[in-house]
């Protein structure tokens, strides 16, 4: 899908993942997100298992360490055959460049396309107050996210993870030749949960999102495919 709706597979074990995916008629049309919970439990085997369903895979591990460590870790991830991986932009220019190199080297070694490298800006659970009082950031949220996105682009990342609330400023300041992947997506009737900066699929599309990530509203639904189609319609309908 050109502008995917990514489903966050926030499950504790693979049996639940298999049961969830079995409720979809065409899993080869899906893009799914594997996060820390599943990956730290199963390691690369979880990628192998989910690839059997022909899903595109977004591996969201938010690497954040010294440049050499991140480069070598990315070499391993680049060889897995996933489509997207994440790194934290707060690691700085050298770390982001190292991530790109490691990802490219790993994919080349495995004879695979290089995954898209996405920089995490500020988590959607971070409020303006937390940014100021706990992270001691001198910038407001919009300017902080724009600054980190510019850093990611200058370092060679393909895009960033960002709240929809910063999208308009990002598109103006960073450009349209960059990917903006937006979590914290909720329909008006769905609970926000622990997300502080949320938006609807329609709003995210209108403001320039390249992809959106939806988790619990779909995975905890009584009819996941129906809910997925509802979100997809809102995301793609012009």
Which residues are catalytically annotated?
60, 62, 65
Q: Is 117 annotated as a binding residue?
A: no
Q: What is the distance between the alpha carbons of residues 97 and 155, in angstroms, rounded to a whole number?
A: 5
Sign of CA dihedral 29, 13, 225, 210: negative
| 62 assigned binding-site residue | yes
124 is in an annotated binding site: yes
Q: Annotated binding residue at 197?
A: no
Q: Does 64 show up as a binding residue in the annotation?
A: yes
Ligand-binding site membership of 60 (annotated)? yes
Handedness of CA 196, 191, 58, 237 (dihedral sign): negative
* 26 to 38, 48, 198, 232: CA distances (angstroms): 22, 18, 28, 14
Residue 190, annotated ligand binder? no
Give the phi and the psi of residue 86 in degrees, each rounded to 5. -120, 150
Is 15 flagged in the annotation as binding?
no
Of 21, 15, 19, the closest CA to residue 33 belongs to 21
Binding positions for substrate are 10, 33, 60-69, 124, 186, 195, 215-216
Binding positions are 10, 33, 60-69, 124, 186, 195, 215-216
């Amino acid at each position: 899908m050109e502008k995917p709706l990514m489903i966050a597979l926030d499950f504790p074990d693979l049996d639940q993942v298999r049961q969830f995916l079995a409720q979809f008629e065409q899993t080869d049309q899906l893009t799914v997100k594997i996060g820390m919970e599943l990956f730290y439990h199963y390691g690369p085997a979880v990628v192998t298992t989910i690839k059997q369903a022909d899903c595109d895979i977004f591996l969201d591990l938010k690497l954040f360490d010294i440049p050499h460590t991140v480069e070598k870790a990315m070499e391993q991830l680049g060889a897995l055959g996933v489509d997207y991986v994440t790194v934290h932009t707060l690691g700085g220019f050298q770390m982001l460049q190292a991530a790109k190199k490691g990802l490219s080297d790993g994919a080349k070694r495995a004879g695979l396309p290089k995954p898209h490298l996405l920089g995490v800006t500020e988590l959607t659970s971070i409020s303006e107050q937390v940014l100021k009082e706990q992270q001691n950031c001198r910038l407001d949220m919009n300017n902080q996210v724009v600054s980190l996105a510019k850093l990611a682009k200058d370092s060679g990342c393909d895009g960033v993870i960002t709240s929809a609330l910063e999208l308009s400023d990002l598109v103006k300041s960073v450009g349209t030749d960059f990917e903006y992947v937006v979590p914290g997506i909720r329909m008006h009737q769905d609970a926000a949960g622990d997300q502080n900066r949320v938006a609807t699929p329609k709003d995210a599309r209108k403001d320039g999102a390249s992809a959106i990530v939806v988790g619990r509203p779909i995975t905890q639904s009584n009819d996941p495919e129906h809910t997925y189609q509802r979100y997809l319609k809102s995301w793609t309908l012009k």
